[in-house]
């Protein structure tokens, strides 16, 4: 039985990559992700992890090296954050379209300017459409588990896609949490060796990344879309299997105290933990409030969302990024779109908050929920409101 110990989450994430027996790590340090790749560098240098560690001069090169490593069939890992993720941007599309499985942890951090090293989801939302499978985790244990699951999901022959595991910068990466690191033998049981079906191989040459003229591009993109949509089944299956081996399972949208609730709050990432405490408090005060935690961001869990909100009146969505000049928070606008065609749908109220490391306390969540209920009754002059801004 694996034992629970106090570990810095970044270190535990690196350990999870080691337990997954990665072959190649290529990364460029950037706060608040640095501890992850630093610890991996240590593990490789100490001989504890038998992997190639490719230090590079930028994140663009890091992702390019990962693409190359995955192309020869190596199990590949990297990590980044904020501007680093943006510098990778163009290569992210290549990794997914060319169907290279790899796992990347993103220590979510606000995008400049002004320079902020603190957390929000603006980096994650900027890479929303890159074709990666994307999972948001709420605590250190979930980060560890989903790195391991990420390899299994991405490497499945039905999927063959890269996976991003989003964990909040500092709020998760730099805290010490009680974490149960799985036993190596159990990880081996859960995660079969990686066998890429068409690797770069001089014995059996293939051309990767050729020109796609107008006659074929549309078909390629449709194949990519259907493939990502279908990956959801494998995500669900892998989480179930993970539960069988390790006793912890995950779902695309986790429900917390939703029984009988007519008002639900929806959050992503580590702020869900504070939101749970706020829900407990409000439940204690006799208010029928519940929480939805959106874990699987891509492929988007339409079915699960529609089911989770079918009997409620108000859904309050917290976004930690702004779609400037657009519909407000990207998550909220997607949720509105997902529910638009439903015969019976709740009012969807959008808030943006928790930007650039701004904390939302338990009382803050309570205030936001109450304001959301008020907007549902009286309306608001705005498409969305920002929580906690000073006049």
- Chain centre to alpha carbon of residue 308: 20
The CA R_g of the chain, rounded to the nearest whole Å, is: 21
For another protein, the closer of residues 45 and 72 by Cβ is: 72
Smallest gap, in angstroms, from Cβ of residue 176 to another protein?
Answer: 41
> Please, are residues 365 and 274 in contact by the beta-carbon 8 Å criterion?
yes
For another protein, the closer of residues 201 and 383 by Cβ is: 201
> Please, are residues 63 and 86 in contact by the beta-carbon 8 Å criterion?
no
CA distance 362 to 103: 33
Give the residues lining the site for another protein (CB under 8 A).
97-100, 160, 197-198, 205-208, 210, 212-216, 219-220, 222-223, 226
- Chain centre to alpha carbon of residue 4: 24
Q: What is the C-alpha end-to-end distance of the chain, expressed in Å?
A: 54
For another protein, the closer of residues 2 and 208 by Cβ is: 208
Burial of 206 per CB tally in 10 Å (0-12, 13-18, 19+): exposed
| Residues 6+ away with beta carbon under 8 Å from 222 | none
For another protein, the closer of residues 44 and 208 by Cβ is: 208
CA distance 232 to 229: 6
Smallest gap, in angstroms, from Cβ of residue 72 to another protein?
Answer: 13
Smallest gap, in angstroms, from Cβ of residue 378 to another protein?
Answer: 49
CA distance 386 to 360: 12
CA distance 126 to 105: 15
**Distances in Å between the alpha carbon of 95 and those of 89, 92, 159?**
10, 5, 13
Smallest gap, in angstroms, from Cβ of residue 211 to another protein?
Answer: 9
For another protein, the closer of residues 153 and 316 by Cβ is: 153
CA distance 165 to 63: 15
Bridge partners (DSSP) of residue 135 are: 165, 296
Q: Which helix (H) or strand (E) holds 133?
A: strand 133-136
For another protein, the closer of residues 175 and 208 by Cβ is: 208
15, two tokens: 């350990």
Smallest gap, in angstroms, from Cβ of residue 257 to another protein?
Answer: 43
CA distance 320 to 267: 9
For another protein, the closer of residues 202 and 260 by Cβ is: 202
Q: Considering Cα of 183, then 185, then 189, then 191, what sign does the dihedral take?
A: positive
Smallest gap, in angstroms, from Cβ of residue 219 to another protein?
Answer: 4
For another protein, the closer of residues 193 and 197 by Cβ is: 197
Smallest gap, in angstroms, from Cβ of residue 210 to another protein?
Answer: 5
For another protein, the closer of residues 52 and 94 by Cβ is: 94
Smallest gap, in angstroms, from Cβ of residue 297 to another protein?
Answer: 23
Smallest gap, in angstroms, from Cβ of residue 49 to another protein?
Answer: 28
């Amino acid at each position: 039985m694996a034992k629970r110990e106090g570990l810095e989450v970044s270190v535990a994430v690196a350990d999870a990559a080691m337990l997954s027996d990665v072959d190649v790590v290529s990364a460029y340090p950037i706060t608040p992700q640095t501890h992850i790749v630093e610890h991996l560098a240590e593990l490789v240098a100490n001989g504890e992890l038998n992997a190639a560690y490719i230090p590079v001069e930028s994140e663009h090169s890091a992702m390019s090296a990962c693409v190359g490593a995955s192309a020869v069939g190596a199990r590949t890992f990297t990590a980044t954050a904020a501007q680093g993720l943006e510098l990778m941007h163009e290569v992210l599309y290549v990794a997914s379209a060319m169907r290279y499985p790899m796992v990347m942890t993103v220590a979510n951090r606000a995008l400049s300017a002004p320079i902020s090293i603190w957390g929000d989801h603006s980096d994650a939302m900027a890479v929303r459409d890159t074709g990666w499978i994307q999972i948001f985790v709420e605590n250190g244990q979930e980060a560890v588990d989903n790195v391991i699951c990420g390899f299994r999901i991405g490497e499945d022959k039905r999927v063959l896609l890269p996976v991003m595991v989003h964990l909040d910068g500092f709020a998760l990466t730099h805290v010490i949490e009680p974490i149960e690191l799985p036993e190596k033998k159990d990880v081996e049981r859960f995660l079969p060796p990686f066998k890429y079906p068409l690797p770069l191989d001089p014995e059996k040459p293939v051309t990767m990344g050729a020109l796609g003229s107008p006659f074929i591009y549309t078909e390629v993109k449709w194949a990519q879309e259907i493939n990502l949509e279908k990956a959801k089944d494998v995500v669900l299956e892998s989480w179930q299997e993970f539960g069988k081996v390790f006793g912890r399972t995950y779902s695309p949208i986790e429900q917390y105290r939703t029984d009988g609730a007519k008002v639900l709050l929806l959050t992503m990432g580590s702020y869900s933990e504070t939101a749970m405490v706020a829900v407990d408090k409000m439940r204690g005060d006799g208010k029928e409030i519940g929480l939805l935690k959106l874990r699987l961001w891509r492929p988007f869990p339409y079915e699960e969302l529609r089911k989770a909100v079918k009997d409620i009146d108000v859904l309050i969505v917290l976004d930690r990024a702004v779609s400037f000049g657009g519909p407000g928070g990207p998550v909220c606008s997607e949720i509105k779109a997902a529910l638009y065609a439903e015969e019976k749908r709740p009012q969807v109220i959008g808030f943006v908050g928790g930007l650039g490391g701004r904390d939302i306390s338990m009382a803050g969540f309570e205030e936001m929920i109450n304001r959301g209920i008020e907007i549902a009754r009286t309306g608001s002059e705005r498409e969305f409101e920002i929580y906690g801004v000073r006049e």
